[in-house]
Amino acid sequence: MRDILVAGNWKMNGSSAANAELVAGIVGGVPAGDGFSLLVCPPFPYVAAVVEATAGSPVSVGAQNVSEHDKGAYTGEVSPGMLKDLGCEYVIVGHSERRSLYNETSGQVAAKFVAAQAAGLTPILCVGESLEEREAGTTEAVVDEQLDAVLDAAGIAAFGTAVIAYEPVWAIGTGMTATPEQAQDVHRHIRERLAGHDGTVAAKVQILYGGSMKGENAAGLLGQADIDGGLIGGASLKAADFLAIAQAAAND
């Protein structure tokens, strides 16, 4: 059985004081049980403080983005080695906001995935379709293109130390959630596509759902066979909301 990963993407929110309160609330309220783990992904400037505040707790820390380059003249960028140096374990790559607002291509996302792994970070690869793409019936084709770019660049074995997040763009920050069945259909498709390359890797990789996940809908989503956790935006900004999802994971 795969463990469940409950990951919070704080996006560009927070402050030193607010983060300290949020982390203290999460660390102090981790549900009892096993078979699940918790992760928070603060903005870059707060990574070091959050690593310190979570030290010795079961909560891991990740970043929301990373450069595909190791070092050099890339003003404003942050390298995978720097994140590792700060104590990050995970990094999100290819979030739909990066793809749409900052024009990140699937090729660039694949390069970030490879660079993150080379530095010892676990990439969380986000894939997902827009509403127009879903309505046009191209959900699987869109997800395949995003996945295949990484398979081509990194190979199937790389998914042995990676996480995938299926995040339908139309469900992110909109309050619209994919039904458990809609999400499961795409999760199953992703796992089957990976299984076409290596069944053992496909069976082990965690595939998270992201898109307006909250305490009220988490149990239904996490109860699906191929849904192994959540990547959570809005509901990760309040300890009680995030912990309600963690509790659903602990109950699963």
Q: Does the protein bind ligand PEP through residue 168 (CB under 6 A)? A: no
The site that binds ligand PEP (CB under 6 A) totals a number of residues, namely 13
Please give the torsion angle defined by the CA atoms of residues 224, 151, 85 and 103, in that order, rounded to the nearest 10 degrees.
Answer: -90
Out of 210, 227, 239, 249, which residue is the one contacting ligand PEP (CB under 6 A)?
210
Integer Cα distance of 233 and 243 in angstroms: 13
244 binds ligand PEP (CB under 6 A): no
The interface with ligand PEP within residues 9-38 (CB under 6 A) comprises 9
CB of 123 to ligand PEP, least distance (A): 14
* Interacting residue with ligand PEP among 167, 226, 228, 252 (CB under 6 A): 167
Residue 213 in contact with residue 221, Cβ under 8 Å?
yes
Query: Which regions of the chain does DSSP assign to beta strands (E)?
Result: 4-9, 36-41, 59-63, 90-93, 122-127, 163-166, 206-210, 229-232
**What binding mask, one character per residue, do residues 117-156 give for ligand PEP by CB under 6 A, x or -?**
----------------------------------------
Q: Which residue is nearest to ligand PEP (CB)?
A: 233
Name the residues annotated as catalytic: 95, 167
* Residue environment code for 34-51, b if the CB has 16+ CB neighbours within 10 A, otherwise e: eebbbbbbbbbebbebbb
Of the ranges 109-117, 140-148, 225-233, 239-247, which one interacts with ligand PEP (CB under 6 A)? Answer: 225-233
The single residue among 83, 88, 109, 231 that binds ligand PEP, judged by CB under 6 A, is: 231
Q: Under 8 Å CB-to-CB from 78, ≥6 apart: which residues?
A: 44, 63, 65, 66, 67
The answer to whether 180 contacts ligand PEP (rule: CB under 6 A) is: no
Burial of 78 (0-12, 13-18, 19+ CB in 10 A): middle
Examine residue 183 and tell whether it contacts ligand PEP (CB under 6 A). no
What's the gap between Cα 35 and its chain centre?
18
Residues of this chain that interact with ligand PEP (CB under 6 A) are 9, 167, 172-173, 210-213, 231-235
